Amino acid sequence: MDRNVIICRCQEVTYGEILDAIADGATTVDGVKKRTRAGMGLCQGKTCQRRVQQIIASQTGQKPEDVLPATYRVPVRPIRMGVIGGNKDE
């Protein structure tokens, strides 16, 4: 695959940057995320996490299902802050 292919669209992280992160010591999806921001975008990794997992697997010789996925973070979907925090002016 070309190093310039975008793997995480939300954060525009390329295949090459993910390879560099793995070379740098990342062995988990969180490890790649901390080094590249892949998975930190608007979709919170829903689109890119599986591909990142596969790339780590192929580079480190693990099975994709053995690569630790990202830590799950609340909320599941983006929420408008006014809904939670109650806009006192309304």
What's the distance, Cα to Cα, between the start and end of the chain in Å? 52
How deeply is 53 buried, as exposed, middle or buried, from its count of CB atoms within 10 A (0-12, 13-18, 19+)?
buried
The amino acid present at 79, given as its one-letter code, is I
Residues 45-64 interacting with other proteins (rule: CB under 8 A): none
Contact between 50 and ligand FES (CB under 6 A)?
Answer: no
Per this entry, what is the length of the chain? 90
Contact between 22 and ligand FES (CB under 6 A)?
Answer: no
Nearer to other proteins (CB atom), residue 2 or residue 61:
61
Chain positions contacting other proteins, by CB under 8 A: 11, 24-28, 30-31, 34-35, 37, 40-42, 44, 73-75, 78-82, 84-89
